[in-house]
Amino acid sequence: MIEQDRQIADVIAKERSRLRSFIRRRVANEADAEDLLQDVFAELVEAYRLLMPIEFVTGWLFRVARNRITDLFRKKRPEAFSEVLHEDEEGAMLDVEDLLPSPDAGPEAQYIRSFLLDELQNALSELPAEQREVFVAHELEGRSFKEMSAESGVSVNTLLSRKRYALLHLRRRLQTVHDEFLEK
């Protein structure tokens, strides 16, 4: 047991910084990122305790982190977020769930779903910090512009403008991904 604890401590010490950076590039909220990091290490401890063989610990840790990030975005994505992504032929808004393959549709659908969520996260990470913060706060966290304005001292119009630029970027950036999947 003591040898096992030492091995776990060594892995955590070695991989903590890289894994935290990996998660922070994909998760805007620092508290969520830290929670995910702790969840990944808790899963590592559990795997060791259950004597599950892990051949490539680093790869395993990053795969678990990616899965946890995906789970976080599935759980936190409110309905308002779907409205920025796509309209059908009649102009009616489609829910993001309508655009993603069902998670129950098998491994290929799960891969595509994961890929699309990764692309969304990558597109968000490309935004300037001010635009990303406004977009995430309003669309993902459900905060009002008035509330954000009171906290930050930035005018509501400026916040609206930042969100508009974020939306334009996301639409442009995700259009290529959308077109690729329509061709298949």
| Phi, psi for 118 (deg, rounded to 5) | -65, -45
67 to each of 30, 43, 90, 118, how far by Cα in Å?
18, 12, 35, 10
pLDDT 10s digits, 3-20: 777 888 888 888 899 999
What CA–CA distance (Å, rounded) separates 36 from 67?
10
What CA–CA distance (Å, rounded) separates 121 from 47?
28
pLDDT 10s digits, 68-101: 888 887 775 443 444 444 444 444 444 445 556 6
Domain coordinates of the chain in residue numbers? Answer: 1-75, 77-184
pTM of the model: 0.44
CATH: 1.10.1740.10, 3.20.20.70, 2.160.10.10, 3.30.450.20. Which one for 1-75?
1.10.1740.10
Same fold? 1-75, 77-184 = no
Beta bridge partners of 93: 87
Contacts of 29 by beta carbon, 8 Å cutoff, 6+ apart: 136
CATH topology assigned to domain 77-184:
Arc Repressor Mutant, subunit A (1.10.10)
pLDDT 10s digits, 20-38: 988 888 887 888 889 899 9
pLDDT 10s digits, 102-150: 666 667 767 777 777 788 788 888 999 999 999 888 877 778 889 899 9
